Amino acid sequence: MTYGAEIWGWKERESLERVMMNYVRWIFGLDFCTPRYVIMRELTLTKLKVAKEVEGGIGYNIEKELIEREKDVQRQWEDAKIRNARYNKKYKEIEAKGKGPRYLEKVNLQELQRGDEIMALVKLRCGNLEEANKFWKREKEDREMMCVFCGDGKDDLEYYVKFCEKVRGWFQELGENSDEIIKIFRDENLDETKGKIISRLWKENEKEKENANKKRGVD
């Protein structure tokens, strides 16, 4: 997947890039606090630099080399960010290793045709479904982010699967080993059973947060 940033004299239009990144966040329903490097790695977004035609033009081989060099720089930047991240620390263990996540392959999109399930998996893998990832909230309130469902423990996938009395039963169709369930839930594969569960988790998660905000008088 690519998105373009047209440049003049090889100077990147940062404002255009921000607009396009926000558009990607909107398409997939991602929180606007989701870091750019996570989105770009997860959705295999490539900054495709398109040079304005200059006097005499530019040779194809040179242009190709510049693009490949830019991709390599981008990859190194993403690697460093993911390695040192405070947000969604688990991502370094689950990032897609191929040309893109399997759930976005054409055959899967045709078979599933369930946008909510894909959106829910993107949100989970990008760290949106676990309030524990939002370290700035934890630091501001000087406490762990409690489970949005039961108000106890920690708001992350491990707690949902292993301890939360309200939701841990939802995951039983994926097996009995809780560590294996967590691994399955975070990986890039998406079948009907996982899709149904993850979609429910996302929607109920949103309801709980909305209700909590109403109680606190937050819009």
Ranges of each domain in the chain: 8-93, 112-216
Provide the pLDDT for residue 166: 96
Provide the pLDDT for residue 1: 54
Provide the pLDDT for residue 122: 94
Provide the pLDDT for residue 196: 94
Q: Tokens 């990859």 belong to which residue?
A: 75
DSSP 46: E
Provide the pLDDT for residue 52: 40
Provide the pLDDT for residue 61: 66
Q: What is the pLDDT along the chain (219 residues), one digit of tens a residue?
A: 544 444 444 445 567 778 888 999 999 999 999 999 999 999 988 764 544 433 445 555 676 777 778 888 888 999 999 999 999 999 999 987 767 788 887 655 666 567 899 999 999 999 999 999 999 988 888 778 899 999 999 999 999 999 999 999 999 999 999 999 999 999 999 999 999 999 999 999 999 999 988 887 765
DSSP string, 123-140: HHHTTTT-GGG-HHHHHH
**Which residues, in sequence order, are CB contacts of 85 under 8 Å at separation 6+?**
35, 38, 91, 92
Provide the pLDDT for residue 60: 59
Provide the pLDDT for residue 95: 81
Cβ atoms of residues 166 and 150 within 8 Å: yes
